[in-house]
Amino acid sequence: MAFESLADKLQNVFRNLRGKGRLTEADVKAALKEVKMALLEADVNFKVVKQFVSSVQERAVGQDVLNSLTPGQMVVKIVNEEMVKLMGSETTEIALKPAGELTVLMMVGLQGAGKTTTAAKIAGKLKAAGRKPLLAACDIYRPAAIKQLQVNGEKQGVEVFSMGENHKPADIAKAAMAHARKNGQNVLILDTAGRLQIDEAMMDELVEVREAAEVSQTILVVDAMTGQEAVNVSRTFDEKVGVDGVILTKLDGDTRGGAALSIRAVTGKPILYVGMGEKLSDLEQFYPDRMASRILGMGDVMSLIEKAQANVDEQKARELEQKLKKAQFDFNDYLDQMQQMKKMGGLGEILKMLPGNMGGMNLNKKGMPDLSDSEAQMKKTEAIIQSMTAKERSNPELINPSRKQRIAKGAGVDIADVNRLMKGFEQSRKMMKQLPGMMGGKGGKKGKF
Ligand code: GDP
């Protein structure tokens, strides 16, 4: 997981700070020295670290903080606030023209940074937001790039404009604009060629495309795994081509985090989105405050809530609540719930976003909860329910021993597994009957969210 080592180190420093009842100036300075080391080891730009630590120190050694009731907490709060500031404070959206006009976005970056993938991810987001995007293949040097864009565009249901490899990128971009205007598309996304390293010819070509296609936003895609190099690349692209915003990819890998923490401060350019995986849905808006909370171990509860809201069907949730209240839920509901959870990325994804320790869970080598058992159990349960008939799912009382045998066979499990599921199911139903208050009924408390 990204930031793992940085988060570990910072949380350690803060645990020590919070453990102390009173803090002296020397305590704070010693803690900040450790923060500084942790940031440098995470490959955060040296100047950025220096500035960051001095801002925190200036605010943290004041008498207000040291004499407060919870000085440790106050210092953590200041670090959090400064970290949010470092990453730009506000969430920045890609600037689009009104829907009646054509916005041209140019994706630039080194080869392998994730441009082509990200172009398709963005197209999907724009389409979901009601825009009419068109993708254009201006990378004529890597023949596979055109095909890759076409495959991804198709997956997103977004048209891809291509003229093969025998035209100049600037000409392709111009033709794509004309095509978009003719077909009522209002955002054109240009996928351009990258090189392994910065080179003049590439930069000149990008400037040519930018001018030919009246580009309104140039979006730089950088690989977070490359750390400081990502920061250097951003600076150079900005100097030579001009960059309006940055998308950091591969933040799902174990990047040390330096790029995310330095890019804004060094280049002054906002991070717009972060790539969190290879799938076309793995692109998240960048929230400096949530990222800081993630790094400082406060969990990313807001992201989790949003993810749940995007995936959970409200109507279904209300129906289920009614059924739960009356203890009427059946195996169809059970299956539904498991599928909703899967949509959110499974148990592991959900737990990763929750704050605090995950006490009582087995941890794997990386210190994360070992969910292989629970996930395997979920798969088994799903297989069992899927091998029930529709009638059995909605009337579980029909399931007699001979039906159990058939179900077990169909799911490829032991009959004991079916018995266990039936027993658990009955117990949950009983519990629901006994605890109507818990489900928001009379006198009961509403859920946390
Ligand atoms: P391009 O050369 O800049 O167009 O890069 P591609 O779009 O071809 O991406 C290079 C590789 O990185 C591909 O294997 C992508 O699947 C992968 N990739 C892109 N974005 C992400 C991301 O956010 N996370 C992960 N894990 N892989 C990514």
**Assembly ipTM:** 0.99
**Residue 252 known to bind ligand:** yes
Residue 256's pLDDT is what? 81
pLDDT at residue number 20: 75
Class of domain 305-439: mainly alpha
DSSP output for 124-137: HHHHHTT--EEEEE
Q: How far is the CA of 251 from the centre of ligand 1 (A)?
A: 11
Q: What is the pLDDT of residues 357-382, one digit of tens each?
A: 443 445 555 555 566 667 778 888 88
Q: Is 324 annotated as a binding residue?
A: no
Cβ atoms 354, 301 nearer than 8 A: yes
- Quote the ligand 1 centre to 4 CA distance (angstroms): 21
Mean pLDDT of the chain, nearest integer? 84
Minimum-distance ligand 1 atom for the alpha carbon of 148: 8
Non-local (6+) Cβ contacts of 119 within 8 A are 107, 135, 149, 152, 189, 190, 191
Confidence of residue 323 (pLDDT cuts 50, 70, 90): low
Q: What is the pLDDT of residues 386-440, one digit of tens each?
A: 999 989 988 888 999 999 999 999 999 999 999 988 888 887 777 666 654 444 3
Confidence (pLDDT) at 387: 92
175 is in an annotated binding site: no
Q: Which atom of ligand 1 is nearest to the CA of 109?
A: 3
Ligand 1 mean position to 408 CA, how many Å? 42
- Closest atom of ligand 1 to CA, residue 111: 2
Q: Is the separation of the CB atoms in 55 and 84 below 8 Å?
A: no
Q: Would the annotation count 116 as a binding residue?
A: yes
131 with 96: CB under 8 angstroms? Answer: yes
Q: Who has greater pLDDT, 12 or 342?
A: 12
Q: Which of 3.90.1300.10, 3.40.50.261, 1.10.10.10, 3.40.50.300 is the CATH number of 103-297?
A: 3.40.50.300
Would you state the pLDDT for residue 404?
A: 94
Pairing label, strands 271-275, 283-285: antiparallel
Strands 245-249 and 160-161: unpaired
The residues spanned by each domain of the chain are 4-86, 103-297, 305-439
pLDDT tens figures, 22-78: 788 888 899 999 999 999 999 999 999 999 999 999 988 887 777 776 777 778 888
Across 437-448, average pLDDT: 37
Task: State the pLDDT at residue 125.
Answer: 95
Residue 250 annotated as binding site: yes
Choose one of 122, 141, 249, 251 to mutate for the ligand 1 pocket test, by most ligand atoms within 8 angstroms of C-beta.
249
pLDDT of residue 441: 38
Measured in Å, residue 275 CA sits from the centre of ligand 1 at 9
Instruction: Write out residues with Cβ below 6 Å of ligand 1.
Output: 109, 111-117, 194, 249-250, 252-253, 275-278, 282
pLDDT of residue 439: 40
The 10 Å Cβ neighbour count of residue 419 is 13
* Fold of the domain spanning 4-86: Four Helix Bundle (Hemerythrin (Met), subunit A) (1.20.120)
